[in-house]
Structure 1
Amino acid sequence: MRAFTVKQPWGAAIAHGPKRIENRTKAIPPKHLGSRILIHAGAAEDANALPRDMVRPWPQHFRAIVAVATLAGCHQDQGCCRPWGFPDTWHWELADVQALPQPPRPVRGQLGLWTATDDVLASVQQQIDLKTTSPLTEQQEAWGVYCPHGKQIIERDPDLTDPEGQPASRIVNPWPCTVDGCTLEAFEADQQAEIDEYCDAVNALISDQYR
């Protein structure tokens, strides 16, 4: 099962507050759309993240799995999803958020989407039934990836699941957007750039460890 890491108080705002948008530089990888995901609060704190009038006494845990959610969809910012959605980012849409009463910790986070260990999953499973199907995975039209012009470009594949039993996805065919520059080739190039960026970051970390 995959996880992503956020700083506090963002983790608490997801687990215990109304934050249902995660801001990222890239779209959700299509194969993870509609899947359940672990929300991990890292060791760092973004002390000035929230305006004073948005600060609440939410429980804050560090280096911990604080919630489970569904990656319901994503879209590029169009001045929407305020106050949680940031400009010039992809907005990852979170649904079915369940806070963990006893967040497993310490858990070390990683870049991007990462795979939780078996012992972490076992601790989460004791508190939340991870096998329960999210309502969103039963509604093909309820999630997907959308281009900047509002066209759905990734949809659920009703005939396939991935090795983890999560619903698979596919690129909409034919390509639905007719705006100049919004093409399948451009989308695939963007996805490849995301993979290259992740690999470069991993290689940099490995290089730093062995200097």
Structure 2
Amino acid sequence: MRAITLHQPWASLIAIGAKKFETRSFPPPSKLIGQRIAIHAAVRKCCLDDLELDVESAEMISDALGKSAWNHTLPHGAVVCTAVLAGAYKVASLVEDEAGGTIALFDLNATLKGSPFSSSLDVDPFGDYSVGRWCWLLKDVQRLPEPVPAKGKQGWWEWSQNGPL
């Protein structure tokens, strides 16, 4: 299974369902759309202060993961969940809905082949949805009962629950 490494707390936010998009400056490989991928938490530890977040974002992360425990208990150097990479969309603009939430409007000319049609989606508060960035939609997230230790890599890499490939 293809895997991608993310820093904490982003990997755990995906595992608990709080972060439904991985946002990057580039699209994923189109052949991975519709495929199950592994989400790996990097070995490198950081704290909220290292993330340079605004106060509201830091509070949302603490609320989602547990006020004081997240920095000491989040797994590192392990696969924490799998998910289906359901689509990839390039942000064209952001608008606010009537309830005060944020909706990303997508450049449908830049949507990856195989992505389900969507001109807009509600975004979570845990990504960088700047115009021109890519939103990788993650669905059917399956949190592993226990994190599986694995040596991650930059970019895409191959992971097997039965050991390294």
Name the TM tier (shorter chain): 0.5 to 0.7
Which deviates further from its counterpart, 71-80 or 50-59?
50-59
Q: What is the deviation of 1:117? A: 4.0
Bigger radius of gyration, 1 or 2? 1
1:104 counterpart SS class = strand
2:7 counterpart SS class = strand
Unaligned runs of 5+ in 1: 122-211
TM-score by length of 2: 0.66
Q: What is the deviation of 1:82? A: 4.4
TM-score by length of 1: 0.52
Supply the distance in 2 between the matched residues of 1:16 and 1:120 (Cα, whole angstroms). Answer: 24
2:87 counterpart SS class = strand
Matched, 1:114 2:157: yes
> Which residue pairs with 1:95 in the alignment?
139
Supply the distance in 1 between the matched residues of 2:90 and 2:39 (Cα, whole angstroms). Answer: 21
Q: How many residue pairs get matched?
A: 120
8 Å contact 1:22–1:91 — kept in the other structure?
A: yes
Unaligned runs of 5+ in 2: 95-103, 105-122
Supply the distance in 2 between the matched residues of 1:43 and 1:97 (Cα, whole angstroms). Answer: 21
Supply the distance in 2 between the matched residues of 1:120 and 1:104 (Cα, whole angstroms). Answer: 10
- Larger relative helix fraction: 1
Q: What is the deviation of 1:25? A: 1.8
8 Å contact 1:9–1:45 — kept in the other structure?
A: no
Percent identity (aligned): 37
Supply the distance in 2 between the matched residues of 1:74 and 1:120 (Cα, whole angstroms). Answer: 29
Supply the distance in 2 between the matched residues of 1:94 and 1:120 (Cα, whole angstroms). Answer: 24
8 Å contact 2:148–2:161 — kept in the other structure?
A: no
Supply the distance in 1 between the matched residues of 2:14 and 2:87 (Cα, whole angstroms). Answer: 16
Give the letter for the 2:22 counterpart.
E
> Match for 1:83 among 120, 125, 135?
125
Supply the distance in 2 between the matched residues of 1:96 and 1:52 (Cα, whole angstroms). Answer: 26
8 Å contact 1:28–1:73 — kept in the other structure?
A: no
Q: What is the deviation of 1:94? A: 0.3
> Which residue pairs with 1:66 in the alignment?
80
Give the letter for the 2:86 counterpart.
A
Q: What is the deviation of 1:14? A: 0.5
- Larger relative strand fraction: 2
| Deviation by residue 1:111-143 (Cα, 9 ceiling, x = unmatched) | 21111146248xxxxxxxxxxxxxxxxxxxxxx
